[in-house]
Amino acid sequence: MLSVRRPIAPRRDPAPSRIRYRLTRLWLRPAFRRFVNFGVPMLAGVLASWTLATELDLRARTVQAVSDLRDAIVDRPQFLITEIAVPDVSADLAEQIREASFVRPPVNSLEVSVVAVRDRVEALAAVERARVRALPDGVLEIRAIERIPVVVWRGEGGVLLLDHNGVRVAEVDSRLRRPDLPLVVGAGADAHIPEALAILDAAGPIASRIRGLVRQGERRWDVVLDRDQAVLLPEAEPLAAMKRVIAIEMAEELFDRDLSIVDMRDPARPMLRLSEHAQAELIRLRDLMKGEDA
Amino acid sequence: MRRPLYEVQRAMRARREAALKRGVIAVLDIGTSKVSCLVLQFVPEDADDTTTGRPTLTQGAFRVIGAANTRSRGVAFGEIAAMDECERALRTAIQSAQKMASLRVDHVIVSFAGGRPRSYGVTGETEVLNGSVAERDIGHVLAACDIPDYGQDREALHALPVNFCLDNRSGLTDPRGQIGKILEVDMHLLTIAGAPLRNVFHCIRRCDLELAGVVVSPYASGLSSLVEDEQELGAACIDIGGGVTGVSVFVRRQMIYADTVRMGGVHITSDICQGLQVSMQDAERLKTMHGGLVATGLDDREMIELPSILGERDHDRRQISRSELIGVMRPRVEEILEEARARLDASGFEYLPSQRIVLTGGSAQIPGLELVAGHILGRQCRVGKPIRVQGLPQSATGSAFSTAVGLALHVSHPQDECWDFEMPADRHGARRVSRAMRWFRENW
């Protein structure tokens, strides 16, 4: 049997609406299509960049926002430095270091440059090396190695304290401030402090009589003793010469005698200069002996 | 009275030429049951010589790049009955054709079957001015035709110079350049009711399109479904459409008569609907699936189950035999054909050298139509399909698309119409200044 199939349910109206029809026709226009595909994005890009360029405020606002954010982080109490610790140095040096570090607590640890602080502290004469670090509990620790003065140098620039390398530690108004330190005199002496120290060390048995070392002509040392006695050391190997002098002193009690200068400048031919009185006495005694002989 | 239409026709002609220069034009067949749209693409250099050359019916250098058809709405008897509905149908067709072509079309040529076309054969006579017939003489002779009083609200849609006669030598297609004294012309004037035409204008304008021509659909379907011999020797095309059956008579490649019968496939459907008590949709389906015109013994036994009007819940099952269906359909088809025959008789079709009749249009697909038409029209009948054009999809090659294809052919090879020729001076009026300028240029 033949049958008539029921027609399917009526479909939606396939007709495009007027707007849609017009838009479709507009879209089929090649110029319009090109405009939408290329012109509009390009235009938008140009417009956006132009707006950015003209809106000068934008940059300032961005910077402001960034700094606000930074402040919000920086202002946290964890980053605050409340105290500067300078351990293991003398009190006045610690005070000096605090002054020189230019850090006034409370201050923010992010704003403190430890390298700069270290450089400033190391620029102090009395500090040989320094280590600066911010500890987590708000303490800025400046660990400094103090220069220890070993000699007093009286030079053209006044009376200075020098350490064992000849580096200036401090200036003092008088040599009497540090009577415990040996005195070094003469221009260019600071460059040869280790030598001077070695000579002083070698001259240990007569240490109590040594008044100081004098640099002669930036060349060689004189060891000046009390009672106007002096030892003139050579330019080369002054230590050996000094040891030799000490050996003679130990054997012959050289400096107890009445002489003014022990001249060791020529190691092959050491010379002694007698004092005026000794010379006269020597001549008298020689004459006496001649007379007895005669 | 004639001048405004002249202007309109000339404007449409200019738009058509612009469209051909651009290379894209759409043709739109507004039928009662379907609206079909074809988008044509022309090769530009060929478009030039199609406008200048003499009309021949070879296939033009165009290609169909978009085709769409949709169910027509708001159209009755080939005329627009509901503007909004019709506009929507047009939009659907045009949009899907544009989508297929992926091109925007601006110019459209429309064919429609409504408006009760009426044919007049008019003659004109004039003296040739300068020995040989010039373009101007043709204009003169066409203007000299005595135009019958065709009614107040009617417009001349076609005015085709069918035959030129120079000093009693008849049968000239193109008298230009020939030597003679007296030039006569036979012109086929086709008028149409003005109101439906203006509705079409308006509807096209509402679709944002420019109208580049209006063609009566019997003419277009004759152009596509008659083969060359038939057009040359004389043939009639009966285009049985949805609401209107068009009749057109061709001889010597010219249309000499066109008329319509305001009956068609929709009426067959409504007969089935009333006679068998089914809904309109079911009746349409019955017609297309099981319809026929000649009953045989087998058809008595072939039973068709009718869908119930009340829906599936109702349990009465009605059955009819196929011959009953045929019995409903056949009288209406016979009536249509008899009307068409009356039109053909009125046109003097029997005096043509050959009297082929070609049946086309959607309703020509009813099985057995050839046999019935043979009985009624009494001549050689065949069911015609439109000739094949390049790029037309397979689904649009049936006889229902003969009008659309004919329109495409018409665009590629337009006939010279009366208003394509130069107008004589006394008809001009409005263009006097430009004519004076031209006269100045020509003489100095």
Interval B84-123: pLDDT, tens: 999 999 999 999 999 999 889 999 999 988 889 999 988 8
pLDDT by residue (tens digit) across A53-106? Answer: 777 677 788 889 999 998 888 778 777 778 788 887 777 778 888 887 777 777
Which residue type does A56 have?
L
Q: Per the CB < 8 Å rule, is B290 touching A1?
A: no
Q: Per the CB < 8 Å rule, is B303 touching A7?
A: no
Pairing between strand B235-240 and B356-360? Answer: parallel
**CA dist B308 → A4, B271, B275, B315 (Å):** 10, 17, 14, 8
Verify cis geometry, omega within 30 degrees of 0, for the bond prior to A106. Answer: yes
Supply the pLDDT for residue B245: 94
Backbone angles phi, psi at A175, to 5 degrees: -65, -25
ipTM: 0.74
Nearest to B289 among A4, A13, A24 (CB): A4
Q: What residues of chain A lie within 8 A of the CB of B103, using their CB?
A: 28
Supply the pLDDT for residue B441: 73
What is the arithmetic mean of pLDDT over A254-283?
Answer: 83
Range from A180-184, A279-283, B339-343 carrying the lowest mean pLDDT: A180-184
Supply the pLDDT for residue B432: 58
Quote the distance between the C-alpha of residue B433 and its chain's center: 38
Among residues B269, B264, B258, B291, the alpha carbon closest in space to that of B360 is found at: B264
CB B142 within 8 A of CB B189: no
**A25–chain B nearest CA distance, Å:** 6
Q: How far apart are CA A147 and CA A168, in angstroms?
A: 9
The length of chain B in residues reads 444
Among residues B59, B38, B69, B66, the alpha carbon closest in space to that of B362 is found at: B69
- At residue A36 the predicted structure's pLDDT band, cuts being 50, 70 and 90, is very high
Q: What are the strands, taking DSSP E only, across B167-266?
A: 169-172, 182-193, 210-216, 235-240, 245-251, 254-261
pLDDT by residue (tens digit) across A1-21? Answer: 666 655 566 667 778 888 999
Q: In chain B, which residue's Cα lies nearest the Cα of A28?
A: B104
Q: How far apart are CA B145 and CA B164, in angstroms?
A: 12
Query: Which of the pair, A194 or B414, is modelled with greater confidence?
Result: A194
Q: Per the CB < 8 Å rule, is B305 touching A2?
A: yes
**B203–chain A nearest CA distance, Å:** 13
Predicted TM-score (pTM) of this structure: 0.63
Q: How far apart are CA B360 and CA B403, in angstroms?
A: 9
Q: Per the CB < 8 Å rule, is B98 touching A6?
A: no
Place of tokens 């005329």: B79
Q: Which residue ranges of chain B lie beneath pLDDT 70?
A: 1-6, 44-60, 309-316, 419-420, 422-435, 444
Q: In chain B, which residue's Cα lies nearest the Cα of A9?
A: B281
SS3 label, residue A101: helix
Kindly give the residue spans of alpha helices, DSSP state H, lying in B117-189: 135-143
H/E stretch holding A262 reads strand A259-263
Q: Per the CB < 8 Å rule, is A16 touching B289?
A: no
Q: Does A23 touch chain B (CB under 8 A)?
A: no
Supply the pLDDT for residue A7: 56
Q: In chain A, which residue's Cα lies nearest the Cα of B90?
A: A15
Q: Which two tokens stand for residue B281?
A: 């949709």
Backbone angles phi, psi at A114, to 5 degrees: -65, -30
CB B256 within 8 A of CB B186: no
Q: Does A22 touch chain B (CB under 8 A)?
A: yes
Of A31-40, A169-178, A193-202, which one has max mean pLDDT? A31-40
Among residues A283, A194, A210, the alpha carbon closest in space to that of A245 is found at: A210
